Structure 1
């Protein structure tokens, strides 16, 4: 019988999780919390299949992702990662995985190395005064956000498992006591900008070189170079491009991260640790997701600037290995990557082919987003109505906000949409596009999904929403 845990096998020359090569300098072995109960609430079966765990029984799933019994051939003990970071602009050297750890590294069907990391798995040396737990509501919110981002074609970590753990938690920002859970997320890498910042803070050149070697070998092999200074510069450029692409996708999807601290950026340009995230109801450059971001540092319209600033902090850390004049050019591709990603992803979410003329493509973006901001149109509804451009004129005319499309101000937007060619217009025949409205995740809808879970353990609305998100993922095909 085939081993359902075959994802525990790694490169033949080592047969060990690659992170073990650098773990002594960058992580602490920890023990998972012992929970009063483990109730499986959600498992990502599609991604379980991708990493060789699709045949795992529910009881086996609880053993590995609720009690954290090691996967065969994988990490024998979880590892809490060490890092530093800028939090709302202030440097904090007292950071690390305070309620999570790296549980395993696995391979997917595309041959990529992936991390299984936790949230809410108990206290670590980096918990400070925290209890190391996660509220069930927080776990539900992360599943929704990560699933919707994936459906919209945004590079993101994947929520993999949600297990309720039977503890009552006290929290100051939601009604308490509240239910607890442990979440497992799947990500290409959990190495953060703050991991490099910690090396720089400690002035540990050897550790920095080891970290760069690991990141290049496992995630950015195109940056390899026998000269360490050139390798560091090439790695920075790869990370700058990946970060620019990710933030361009955020802006097209109307996603507001919430907490863009440097410890919440990773080297593969994946969305993670987004905490009080939001999706825009309407276009608003000044919209802020986190109630505690009182100065709007991480507001929607500022996200590209903040991404650039975070990369500058990463470059500063790499001064241990390379000169400033050599690192600076590696930051420049961020702007182009962001601009190209924003334009390409806007077209992708509209199901249209770009014209290929930079000025005209930027013209569509200016007209489209300018009109959305001025009109107060629904972000999700507008993209849904005009998916396929000229192929959706009749659909848009029947939209709940069809009146907005008859205004004179929409004229330039309509003309730009009509000038483009639909990409795979057959997608419009799928059931998702037959409904009058798309899936969306504005905050009121998220709260409405949680209420029946909290009141009567009724998961039906949550299940229906995740099914609708999956329907969107298939229909968009991004």
Structure 2
């Protein structure tokens, strides 16, 4: 499909003004195309060769609309840092409409598009820094096999925007199967708009929860809560396995279908630290890395409360009780795969926990260690692994490797095959914050080549790409724990 042939439908906007407001974008006067993502073009059924079309500059900033588009600001609320905020909604983003291709429907969401009725005191803009971070993070998580929104294109400008400092404005088009958040359900519940809540439950089930057609609203709500609980459990388990910290897991940043959603002050772990806090606004550590499973469960409780008009307390409890076992099972499976273990044994959890404790005590780079372990063949000395630890921790690693060797022996697997499998589970390239900062600084000087290079590497994070070895390096000390705020 050519870019000029793209025609959007607008199922969500058709629900009416109870669900949001029609709003015209506020375009940039001099938009600049920074990048168009060929992988997402292909996902949407658009010819990847169309990435060079001049029309992207206008389409990507709202100066020109796709055929059929009716830009719509969605209304929702949510709990932020545990406190309910009734004033939320799309304050700087617009749902442009939906592309239907290959039996799927993909929503296009323009971020940074200007003020809406839900902007409160905001300017409705996004800045280049935060937009680059989201653009890359979408592809990083997706490349790791973790459900995520995607990013279609990134548009820059000379427009001045004030955050912690004066920056330039930017926009991106986010792509997702759904932009419905936990907070959408909270909005209708707390404002006592139960018919709208019933409609939202019905349309969400119709699209994403098989076998719910013809059920009562209560039965649909239960099926939806079980679906979202399972998806959310699998999502947070996948974050923990790759060392991803979201940073601001408010209920308005939680996707009802279990996508990673609303990238802000996120970070991938460098040195392993279970207590890591990536958001410098998180003074209590509510969203620390190790707290993420518990916070997701807290958010699911908030969602369950929003559905309580249609589901009994006993059923709500039963739905939520599936979360912890689902997280444990999904995390254990992912960690066994990272360790090259095809079979399950009772001691695997302890083996994994002992390794993480060793990594934490030794301040060992999480990604580099597991990538090196994917090459391990029982050699002594295990130089590639020992080199990642300070000498004081070498004996601890040797003891752990002895346990690991005995565990691998019981697998009775081919070493080369195990290594190959582990190399597809332990990435070489991740979106470290110092790399994102390097790309941002180049882009601020008008050089977008580093951004495109990193985007391509993150889309294939398990490939060796030896010519790009520098992008797989550990950060310098100055590149660790970079301060990140919600405006990131």
TM-score past 0.5 threshold:
yes
Residue in structure 2 matched with residue 354 of structure 1 by the alignment: 342
Q: Is it true that 1:371 corresponds to 2:358 in the alignment?
A: yes
Q: Give the TM-score taking structure 1 as reference length.
A: 0.87
Residue equivalent to 2:435: 445
Summarize deviations over 1:153-190 as a string: whole Å, max 9, x none.
Answer: 22111122100022011112xxx321110011111211
Displacement of 1:265 after TM fit?
A: 0.2
Question: Shift of the alpha carbon at 1:428?
Answer: 8.0
Q: Alignment partner for residue 56 of structure 2, among 61, 76, 79?
A: 61
- Residue 8 of structure 1 and its aligned partner are, at CA, apart by 3.8
Residues 78-87 or 373-382, more deviating: 373-382
SS in 1 for 2:131: helix
* Pair 1:284–1:31, CA change in 2 (3 A): same
Q: Is the aligned partner of 1:150 residue 2:142? A: yes
Partner of 2:291: 302
- 1:276-315 → structure 2 map (5 Å cutoff): 276-315=265-304
Counterparts of 1:152 and 1:280, CA distance in 2: 15
Q: 1: distance between equivalents of 2:312 and 2:370?
A: 45
Q: Does 1:185 align with 2:174?
A: yes
Alignment-derived partner of residue 132 in structure 2 = 140
Deviation for aligned residue 1:412: 2.6
Q: Within 5 Å, which residues of 2 pair with 1:197-236?
A: 197-236=186-225
SS of match in other structure, 1:288: coil
Partner of 1:13: none
Rate the CA distance shift 1:286–1:399 in 2: closer, same or farther, 3 A: closer
The SS at the match of 2:308 is helix
Alignment of 1:24-63 (within 5 A): 24-54=17-47, 55-56=49-50, 57-63=52-58
C-alpha distance in 2 between matches for 1:104 and 1:389 = 49
Cα RMSD, aligned residues only = 2.8
Q: CA deviation at 1:122?
A: 0.7
User: Quick one: which of 162, 165, 179 aligns to 1:170?
Assistant: 162
Summarize the Cα distance change of 1:6–1:215 in structure 2 as closer, same or farther, 3 Å threshold: farther
Kindly indicate whether the alpha-carbon contact (under 8 Å) linking 1:44 and 1:159 is maintained by their aligned counterparts in 2.
yes
Q: Which residue of 2 aligns with 1:70?
A: 65
Corresponding residue of 1:266? 255
* Aligned equivalents of 1:413, 1:367: Cα separation in 2: 11
* Cα distance change of structure 1 residues 474 and 186 upon mapping to structure 2, 3 Å threshold: farther
Offset at 1:427?
6.7
Could you list the per-position Cα deviations for residues 55-74 of structure 1 after superposition, in whole angstroms to 9, with x for gaps in the alignment? Answer: 535223223222353333x4
Task: State the Cα deviation string for residues 4-59 of structure 1 (Å, max 9, x = none).
Answer: 566647xxxxxx43324524321210111121111110111111111112353522
1:375 and 1:104, CA in 2 relative to 1: closer, same or farther beyond 3 A? same
Q: Secondary structure at the match of 1:364?
A: helix
C-alpha contact (below 8 Å) 2:235/2:258 kept by paired residues: yes
Q: Does 1:18 align with 2:11?
A: yes
Cα contact 2:2–2:46 (8 A) shared by 1: no
Deviation (angstroms), 1:448? 2.6
Question: Does the CA-based 8 Å contact 2:33-2:154 persist in structure 1?
Answer: yes
Q: Cα–Cα, structure 1 residues 8 and 354, in superposed 2: closer, same or farther, change >3 Å?
A: farther
TM-score by length of 2: 0.85
Instruction: Name the count of aligned residue pairs.
Output: 455
- Structure 1 residue 225 displacement after superposition: 5.0
Query: What is the CA-CA distance between 1:438 and the residue it aligns to?
Result: 3.1
CA contact (8 A) 2:297 2:323 kept: yes
SS of 1:18 mapped into structure 2: coil
Q: How does 1:362-401 map to 2 (within 5 A)?
A: 362-387=349-374, 390=377, 397-398=383-384, 401=387
User: Residue in 1 aligned with 2:473?
Assistant: none
Distance in 1 between residues matched to 2:77 and 2:55, nearest whole Å:
35
Whether 1:88 and 2:81 are equivalent positions in the alignment is yes
Cα distance, 1:402–1:296 mapped onto 2, change above 3 Å: closer
SS of residue in 2 equivalent to 1:113: strand
